[in-house]
């Protein structure tokens, strides 16, 4: 290669017409069970989005295996950014997500407007519950209730700790790629998992 030559990888293109599969991005949240122990089977839908679910052929699987072994599917979605910071006296709809002052992801639920969840936040930030699955109350009656979903994603709203649910099938996210760092699309490298008793198959909150 001569001096001054520029090497640039092919720029991926997002084809909106190929986003024809509706998927759920799911977060597993530990919570206390009826015996006082920790139940790790609770699931919360983080986002319901259009995607392109693509099975990888043998050559593609081998190429992906250079970084991640056994990847079976590539799922392409539009870019999802990280959760915004909490804001005072703001009307949060049920299912809203914020990043609290401790760096945790909080999801709004509870008996807010018309009991559809959500509510108006208080004038000052609440004392956030720092335990994953823990509950924080915020604002005035009927009140806004937050559930701690664990550490908030930093670079994008999607992490490899999440799962994908698609037409009754489950996929573990092995890696999240933001091609060219342009914040236009995300590529999820996934492994499809079976429905054996060892797998976590509890229906996520929002799908029941």
Q: What is the pLDDT of residues 74-93, one digit of tens each?
A: 999 999 999 999 999 998 98
The answer to whether residues 38 and 127 belong to one domain is: no
Strand partners, 27: 44
- Residue 52 sits in the same domain as residue 69: yes
pLDDT tens per residue, range 97-144: 999 999 999 999 865 545 557 888 999 999 999 988 888 999 766 678
Residue 202 lies in a domain: no
Domain span at residue 119 reads 91-151
Q: What is the per-residue pLDDT for 133?
A: 84
5 located within any domain: no
Joined tokens for residue 73: 């599917």
What is the model's pLDDT at position 62?
Answer: 44
37 and 134 part of one domain: no
Does 97 lie in the same domain as 74?
no
Strand segments, DSSP code E, in the chain are 21-32, 38-55, 73-78, 91-93, 97-99, 104-109, 118-120, 135-138, 144-151, 163-166, 169-177, 185-193
165 and 70: one domain? yes
Please check whether residue 207 lies inside any domain of the structure: no
β-partners of residue 29 are 42
| CA 163/CA 43 separation, integer angstroms | 9
Query: What mean pLDDT is predicted for residues 137-163?
Result: 85
Q: Using CA atoms, how far apart are residues 204 and 43, in angstroms rounded to an integer?
A: 4
Residues 32 and 132 in one domain: no
Looking at the whole model, is its pTM more than 0.75?
no
76 and 160 housed in the same domain: yes
Going by pLDDT thresholds of 50, 70 and 90, the confidence category of residue 4 is: low
Q: Does one domain contain both 58 and 96?
A: no
Q: How many domains does the chain have?
A: 2
Radius of gyration of the chain from its Cα atoms, rounded to whole angstroms = 19
């Amino acid at each position: 290669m001569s001096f001054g030559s520029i090497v640039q990888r092919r720029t991926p293109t997002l084809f909106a017409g190929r986003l024809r599969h509706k998927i759920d991005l799911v977060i597993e949240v530990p919570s206390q069970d009826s015996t006082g122990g920790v139940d790790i089977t609770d699931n919360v839908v983080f986002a319901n989005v259009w995607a392109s679910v693509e099975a990888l052929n043998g050559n593609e699987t081998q190429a992906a295996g250079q970084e991640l072994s056994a990847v079976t599917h590539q799922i392409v979605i539009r870019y999802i950014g990280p959760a915004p910071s909490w804001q005072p006296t703001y009307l949060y709809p049920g299912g809203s997500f914020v990043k609290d002052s401790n760096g945790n992801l909080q999801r709004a639920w509870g008996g807010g407007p018309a009991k559809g969840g959500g509510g108006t936040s208080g004038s000052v930030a609440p004392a956030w519950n720092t335990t994953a699955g823990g509950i924080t109350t915020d604002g005035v009656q009927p009140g806004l209730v937050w559930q701690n979903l664990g550490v908030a994603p930093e670079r994008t709203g999607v992490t490899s700790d999440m799962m994908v649910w698609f037409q009754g099938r489950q996929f573990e996210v092995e890696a999240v790629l933001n091609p060219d760092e342009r914040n236009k699309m995300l590529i999820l490298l996934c492994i499809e998992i079976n429905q054996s008793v060892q797998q976590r198959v509890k229906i996520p909150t929002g799908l029941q």
